[in-house]
Amino acid sequence: MRDSGTGRRPPHSGTGGPSPQAVADAFDATRLTQARHLAALTKKEVAEHLGVSPAAVGQYESGVTRPRPDLIPRLAEVLSVPMAFFLSGRPHGKLDGSMAHFRSLRSTRAYQRAKAVAFVEQVWELTYALEKRVQLPPVDLPGFAGGEMHSDLPRDPAGAARALRAHWGLGTGPIGHLVRRMESHGIVVAFPRHDPDAVTVDAFSTSSLPRPIVVLTPNRFDDIYRHRFTAAHELGHLVLHGDTAAGDPQQEREADAFAAEFLTPRDSILPQLPLRADLRRLAELRLTWGCRSTRCSTGAGRRGCSPTPPPAGPTSGSPRCATSRASPTSRSPAIRVSSRCCWRRRSSWPAGRAG
């Protein structure tokens, strides 16, 4: 690494990295904030480790003052980063937390959201570095341009899902390899390592960086159906809510509705539903479409897709699997709507459909 002002390499410590003095001279205050969020520590906790006041840490992060050279090694140790992490000169993908859509916003604490946002910033920086050496697919998301989203797709979730299917040439049948398809259209999909905080965060996405980013947390990995529905849910946020601040529960309902229509288009799935409860047929549909039978059979009653509930009618079988039609000639299913995609282990997913 070279000093951006002189073009010369900064002094190094005996271990081969930059010296504490060199890091202190070129200290990037925003890197300290990012590292602290990644470590899920408060300013007070960092201050206690360093033997300084919380106000001093706040001044380091605001750029008012710089930490003394003798504090740099301890700071790096406390935050579990190399000393070179604090050097200025690298591009920083600064992300406003209000523009990141969290799958479980209500159960996510502020420090967990800050940690997730810092992780996404790191994902973008890695992507930026990779693009200098590897040609990644161009972003093909209608209305996306350099971190801004002005989609011309329909605003209703089902209409947007059908329009995106058409734009990507997916037809009206089952979608195989969903995550791979998202990546092939320029969306970065990241899978963080296991972290207790990530389980609470669940999943999140943003279109406010130069590339759209979706993060799928490890608690979604052991169930291919849940994994697929979550990926489609976050895709719905990118398409529908890229130009609006996150946090509205209605947005979560709309993203669910988008995911349901994107994975199982209503006009395609309704003709395949059995006229009466048939668990074997529903299991076949689940394997074909990659979605839980109750989700695949929601039709007009999908949450967020229809202003009125499905018509009343006789049902049979268990409440979770009731799929009888109101009449033999009616195509309106009298069913109970599931709010989640199916849970099933990856080992049961047929070849060619995973992910």
- pLDDT tens digits, residue range 324-352? 333 333 333 322 233 333 323 333 333 34
The letter for the amino acid at 71 is L
Q: Kindly calculate the radius of gyration of the chain based on its CA atoms and give it in whole angstroms.
A: 24
**Long-range CB pairs of 106-110, under 8 A, 24+ apart, other chains included:** 107/200, 108/200, 108/201, 108/202, 109/200
According to DSSP H, which parts of 26-133 are helical? 29-38, 43-50, 54-62, 72-79, 110-131
Handedness of CA 324, 330, 336, 340 (dihedral sign): positive
Choice among 61-75, 97-111, 240-254, 291-305 with the minimum mean pLDDT: 291-305
Amino acid letter, residue 90: R
By residue count, the chain amounts to 355
Q: Is the pLDDT of residue 84 over 50?
A: yes
Give me the pLDDT at residue 341, please: 33
Query: What ranges make up the beta strands (E) of 99-192?
Result: 101-102, 144-145, 148-149, 188-190
Distance CA 349, CA 278 (A): 20
Report d(CA 294, CA 283) in Å as an integer.
Answer: 10
The residue-averaged pLDDT of 180-187 equals 96
